[in-house]
Amino acid sequence: MNKLQKADYIKMYSFMLKIRRFEERAAQLYGMGKIGGFCHLYIGQEAVVVGILMTIDKNDSVVTTYRDHGHMIARGLDPKRIMAELTGREDGYSAGKGGSMHMFSKENNFYGGHGIVGAQVPIGTGIAFTHKYNGEKNICRTYIGDGAMNNGQVFEAFNLAALWKLPVLYIIENNKYGMGTSVDRAAAGLDLYKRGEAFGIPGEKVDGMNVFSVIEAADKAGKYVREGNGPYIIEVQTYRYRGHSMSDPAKYRTKEELDNYKQTDPIEIVKAEILKKKIATKDEIEKINKDTLEEIKNAAEFATNSPFPKDSELYTDVYL
Amino acid sequence: MSTEILMPALSPTMTEGNLSKWLIKKGDTVKAGDLIAEIETDKATMEVEAVDEGVVLDLLFKEGEANIPVNKAIAIIGDPKEKVEVKKEAPIEKVIEEKKIEKNIETKIENKKTDIIDTPSPKIEEDRNLSSEEITMRQALRDTMAEEMRKDNKVFILGEEVAEYQGAYKVTQGLLQEFGKERVLDTPISEHGFTGLAVGAAFKGLRPILEFMTFNFSMQAIDQIINSAAKTLYMSGGQINCPIVFRGPNGAAAQVAAQHSQDFSSWYSQVPGLKVIAPSTPYNAKGLLRSAISDPNPVIFLENEILYGLKGPVNNDINFSIPIGKANIEKEGKDLTIVTYSIMLQKSKEAALRLKEEYNLDTEIIDLQTLRPLDTETILNSVKKTNRLITVEESWPFGSVGSEIANIVQRDAFDYLDSPVIKVNSADVPMPYALSLEKLYLPQVDDIINAAKKVSYIK
């Protein structure tokens, strides 16, 4: 990858901030009863998806888990429409029929948003299969939570991807807990990136709180996959500040542990770098902060004013 | 501008909360993301963060105050220079007004007009392009796949033993030689994985034909079939369709016992988003498989191992198809109706011959061909004519396709019925191994005859 330009730093900062402000606002709307059901926030993990974003081609495909709001924002999708899906309105990306966990944008090669733990892994592998079948140079980025790494279909997908040398980059977002169960209570052998070894899939572990480390690893892995060498696994060590979903108080971990991670806050790291390199002044950063807050406020406004889907929509989109 | 901080709902069921602790005080400046309070909910004590920025102008509740309704203002933040207006009672908003939805007394399973193609199922006896040569069901399926693969590069086949082995039941014979290993793929014994892979490929625009060596093994993959293939069009608001055919033998073969003999027709027919087809002859296998491969939706194509060797004439036109959602009136009659599908068509025909000979009953036989969407019109028209109905199928009795048909008929043709609808199904037990017990388990011609006598009040 080319050396990061000044604009890249600003882009990273803006996207990470946008994700965080979006999630905080989503939490607020949830609190007000405007968002229902399950809602999984990405706060703390922003550097992962934004780091990957910096190495992505717009024709590459993406598929991810139900913790997907940040992934959609990083894909350049409109926060207004994402929030409108969370509020279950007709302007949402799935016209209000999917909700927080099931969002898609085919035109942006974003294939969800999957609510079943692990199910997106064979699906992402199949999307990669299609890139290869069609003779395209693109790859499919398939995100996996640490919880899914004990799910059988993940290994079936690894086997197929390696067997058929499919252009799929598996990104394990290890945020340390599958719901309330810590990785060490769920996974025998803690190095999840090594779980492709048996299939000959190379893997590496990377610090997911630091966007620069993520970029470096993603760039290297992306090249390997794009050159037709088959799949690659990156295990990104990250941390979610919030509970698994909105109703989870996260009592299974200590406050010290959380505070410790907050010391290495991914957004603060980028901000410090920007100031150190004199890419932007404090005032300019402050302006980004204000603009972002405003944009997300508008998104919330839009999402709460968009109409509910028409009753007639109940019976549409079952069959094409 | 000042902003109210409201008591948040922190779980889907919370209606009020207790203010355990303030983490801010009047005059503090808060930024988005700062912790402001600890709230005790019906489930746990949670920390609440600020979303807006400003100076804390007022805290409206004291620490320890309990039962504060959700959405009630608990604090005010804003610019201290501005005058604060505190609403005495923040309105508790009801997110969705409870609308009086006028529902039918019963939820009908409605076939939308667009789901049904209005051309009738072609009749084999009227088909002018019928081949003089008879071919097997196996060959009819193979030929149709090959024809569609020649037409469209996006069509490919994958499954266990479909390529080098030439198909566990030889249905894919010769396809590897003609289309190569890029389009005819042997998979490992890994249904969950390769089904998900095929679903992903279909999302991305390919048109996979996925062979299950038998549908019994589709249970390994059923999450991907139901949760991914069938629901994604809906969940994506119509953006992402899944043009895939899941095909393979379904139901009993011969003495392969409980784990390899199950009929899944009603399981899959229960799922909105799937279409379900069960051919009974080489002729309709050809026409229906072509429709299945061309369909933009996921299709479950239930073949039958015993029928693979069944011979019959076909229409060899490479564009010949039979519309999905149309039943075929296999034989017209006036005394009673038998609704059936797949292998039970053969047994129903045998029964009809004997019913004519032995009891002078003129039976109408409807071969469903498609189970979902169901051709209720053809069934109802027949019942209105004959006034008596039996359903014949291989699946277990509880919640079977026949159960749904019985429901529809009693609802929409109650006044036409001269006797209760009778279902003929397999025994309500796992499939036994012993030949004698297997025969008892499966519906036999005599069972159909007994049912026909019963609806006709013949002792």
The answer to whether the B3-78 and B124-312 domains have the same CATH topology is no
Marked catalytic residue, from B191, B305, B330, B393: B191
* pLDDT in the model for residue A319: 97
- For residue A135, give its domain range: 6-302
Extents of the domains making up chain B: 3-78, 124-312, 328-455
- The domain that contains A37 carries what CATH number? 3.40.50.970
For the stretch B383-411, pLDDT in tens is 999 999 999 999 999 999 999 999 999 99
Among chain B residues, the shortest Cα distance to A97 is held by B235
Judge whether A313 lies within some domain: no
Q: What percent of chain A has pLDDT over 70?
A: 100
B265 and A311 Cβ atoms separated by less than 8 Å = no
Look up B260 and say whether it is catalytic.
yes
Judge whether A282 lies within some domain: yes
Q: Are strands B207-211 and B245-249 parallel, antiparallel or unpaired?
A: parallel
User: Per the CB < 8 Å rule, is A95 touching B237?
Assistant: yes
User: Per the CB < 8 Å rule, is B33 touching A20?
Assistant: yes
Say how many domains are in chain A: 1
User: Per the CB < 8 Å rule, is A24 touching B203?
Assistant: no
- Find tokens 């804390």 and name the residue: B56
Judge whether A284 lies within some domain: yes
The four Cα atoms A75, A161, B242, B249 give a dihedral, to 10 degrees, of -160
Q: How far is A3 from chain B (nearest CA, A)?
A: 32
A89 alpha carbon, distance to own chain's centre: 22
Question: Which one is the CATH code of B3-78: 1.10.645.10, 2.40.50.100, 3.40.50.720, 3.30.1120.130?
Answer: 2.40.50.100
Residues in chain B: 459
Radius of gyration of chain A (CA): 19
Which stretches of B295-441 are DSSP H helices?
344-359, 376-386, 401-412, 435-441
A260-270 mean pLDDT? 94
Segment (H or E) for B370: strand B370-372
3-class DSSP state for residue A104?
coil
Radius of gyration of chain B (CA): 30
B164 and B177 Cβ atoms separated by less than 8 Å = no
CA atoms within 13 A of residue B186's CA, in its CB half-sphere: 10
Across B207-360, where does the E strand assignment appear? 207-211, 245-249, 275-277, 299-303, 311-312, 328-331, 336-340
What are the structure tokens assigned to A279, written together?
Answer: 């890419």
State the amino acid at position A22 in one-letter form: F
Nearest Cβ partner of B44 from A32, A98, A249?
A249
**Interhelix angle for A6-31 vs A79-86, to 10°?**
20
User: What strand order describes the sheet that includes B328-331?
Assistant: B328-331, B363-367, B336-340, B389-392, B422-424
* pLDDT in the model for residue A67: 95
Judge whether A312 lies within some domain: no
Whether pLDDT at B430 is above 90: yes
How high does pLDDT run on average in chain B? 92
* pLDDT in the model for residue B115: 52
Q: Which chain A residues are Cβ-neighbours of B240 within 8 angstroms?
A: 104, 106, 111-112
Q: Are strands B275-277 and B299-303 parallel, antiparallel or unpaired?
A: parallel
In this structure, what are the phi and psi dihedrals at residue A113, rounded to the nearest 5 degrees?
A: 60, 75
Q: Mutate one of A25, A81, A133, A143 to test the B interface: name it (highest B CB count within 10 A).
A: A133
A235-254 mean pLDDT? 90
Marked catalytic residue, from B40, B49, B161, B260: B260
B91 against B260, higher pLDDT = B260
CB-based contacts of B185, cutoff 8 Å, min separation 6: A164, B156, B157, B158, B159, B162, B163
Q: How far is A160 from chain B (nearest CA, A)?
A: 8
Whether pLDDT at B94 is above 90: no
B201-221 mean pLDDT? 98
Judge whether A63 lies within some domain: yes
Q: Which chain A residues are Cβ-neighbours of B223 within 8 angstroms?
A: 116, 119
Which CATH code fits B124-312?
Answer: 3.40.50.970
In this structure, what are the phi and psi dihedrals at residue B130, rounded to the nearest 5 degrees?
A: -70, 135
Which residue, among B386, B159, B366, has the nearest Cα to B280 in the 3D structure? B366
User: Per the CB < 8 Å rule, is A130 touching B204?
Assistant: yes
Q: Which chain A residues are Cβ-neighbours of B201 within 8 angstroms?
A: 126-127, 129-130, 133
Q: What percent of chain B has pLDDT over 90?
A: 78
Judge whether A1 lies within some domain: no
**What fold is seen in the domain B328-455?**
Rossmann fold (3.40.50)
For the stretch A181-228, pLDDT in tens is 999 999 998 899 999 999 999 999 999 999 999 999 999 999 999 999
Spatial distance between the Cα atoms of A255 and B13, rounded to a whole number of angstroms:
26
Spatial distance between the Cα atoms of B226 and A95, rounded to a whole number of angstroms:
21
What ipTM was assigned to the predicted interfaces of this complex? 0.94
- Find tokens 């008892």 and name the residue: B440
Q: How far is A195 from chain B (nearest CA, A)?
A: 16
Q: How far is CA A85 from CA A90, A299, A304, B22, in A?
A: 8, 11, 10, 32
Q: Provide the pLDDT confidence category of residue B105 given band limits of 50, 70 and 90.
A: very low
* pLDDT in the model for residue A56: 84
Spatial distance between the Cα atoms of B368 and B374, rounded to a whole number of angstroms:
8
| CB pairs A-B closer than 8 Å | 212
User: Per the CB < 8 Å rule, is A126 touching B233?
Assistant: no
Look up B191 and say whether it is catalytic.
yes
Spatial distance between the Cα atoms of A41 and A69, rounded to a whole number of angstroms:
8
A252 against A134, higher pLDDT = A134
Q: How far is B25 from chain A (nearest CA, A)?
A: 20
User: Per the CB < 8 Å rule, is B32 touching A124?
Assistant: no
Q: Which chain B residues are Cβ-neighbours of A159 within 8 angstroms?
A: 188, 190, 193
Q: Mutate one of A153, A159, A301 to test the B interface: name it (highest B CB count within 10 A).
A: A153
Looking at B50-59, B151-160, B199-208, which range is the least confident one? B50-59
Spatial distance between the Cα atoms of B324 and B302, rounded to a whole number of angstroms:
13
Whether pLDDT at B95 is above 50: no
Judge whether A307 lies within some domain: no
